[in-house]
Amino acid sequence: MSGPTKHIDIKSAVKSFGQIHAVGGVSLDVHAGECVALVGPNGAGKSTLFKLILGLVRPTAGAITILGQKPDRPSFEHVRKFIGFLPEQVLFQGSLTGRETLHFYTRLKGESSDRIDSLFQTVELVDAADRRVSTYSKGMRQRLGLAQALIGRPDILLLDEPTSGLDPASRLNFYDIIEAHRAQGTAVLLSSHALTELEARTDRVAILSNGKLVADGSIEALKSSLALGSKIKVKAAPAQMRQLSQRFANRCDPKNFLNGVAVLSCPQDEKLSLLKGLMESGIPFEGIEIIEPSLEQVFASLTNGGGNG
């Protein structure tokens, strides 16, 4: 049985601007119904990769196939209407209202304007629909940008830092919208610097550093491949802290016993046996907290500041 359709298929893509190798041999797939986060330091090549997918810049080398077509061919014009794109900098004509703006983009995509009201509902901008865009806040412009990207129920959503400028409630709404589109088979590729919020929201994370893909996998798989350890924080009274430091000397650094909190470290697969050891030690403690490695740690250990920016 064949798997889900590969909507984005990038093989060894290179894009150089003179001496700058913005994208240096990247291979990346995104299937229908998948949500992949593209992360990387400033200048790592994320926006350039989006431009390659859209056919806005031509690859120096490599093969890019989007919905079965090559973006650098004239025939790709017909494919573009199936791609929703939210650029990093959303620039709208301030003198137009939000509704006029969406009408403009709807016509540009050759779509019917029947869904404009529902798009305003989706991005929670109904009350501002008939106000001039010049009166919108940054977050409101960002939400209008998202509505623009959603016109025509695209097969691919390319979102360049979509949550920048959004307040926490709007961020939650944003990920609900993405989830609904993903469930209908849209392939979503989004770039973000907000690593914490990606953890529970994306299927895979692709990490770019200096134009190269240094990781591509589920967050869980990345964490275990890097052997990033877990930490267990134990809160205890001073006398018990001494007992803990003696009993678990191999699990901690003395400087990790501070202010009544001991931080014990272990490989992820030894976490349960360490917990069991703590319970069976008979040392009375006041509280326990397990801290798993974060996406920030994965990112830091893989990129090491690798941007061209």
Nearer to ligand ATP by Cβ, of 10 and 283: the residue is 10
Residue 233 in contact with residue 288, Cβ under 8 Å?
yes
Nearer to ligand ATP by Cβ, of 128 and 298: the residue is 298
Contacts of 116 (CB under 8 A, 6+ apart): 99, 102, 103, 106
At residue 34, what are phi and psi to the nearest 5 degrees? -105, 145
The correct pick among 43, 139, 165, 260 for binding ligand ATP (CB under 6 A) is 43
Interface stretch with ligand ATP, choices 26-34, 39-47, 144-152, 292-300 (CB under 6 A)? 39-47
Instruction: Quickly list H helices, the chain.
Output: 46-54, 77-80, 98-108, 116-122, 138-150, 168-183, 195-198, 219-225, 238-247, 271-280, 295-303
Interface stretch with ligand ATP, choices 3-11, 42-50, 118-126, 194-202 (CB under 6 A)? 42-50
The correct pick among 40, 59, 293, 306 for binding ligand ATP (CB under 6 A) is 40
By CB under 6 A, what part of segment 48-67 binds ligand ATP? Answer: 48
Binding map of ligand ATP across residues 107-136, x = CB under 6 A, - = no contact: ------------------------------
DSSP secondary structure, 186-229, as one string = -EEEEE-S-HHHHTTT-SEEEEEETTEEEEEE-HHHHHHHTTPP
Binding map of ligand ATP across residues 5-34, x = CB under 6 A, - = no contact: ------------x--x-x------------
Residue 31 Cβ vs ligand ATP, minimum distance, rounded to whole Å: 23
Interface stretch with ligand ATP, choices 43-51, 68-76, 99-107, 240-248 (CB under 6 A)? 43-51
Best CA proximity match to 182, nearest among 155, 204, 159, 206: 155
> End-to-end alpha-carbon separation of the chain, Å?
44
Which residues would be at the binding site for ligand ATP (CB under 6 A)? 17, 20, 22, 40, 42-48, 88, 308-309
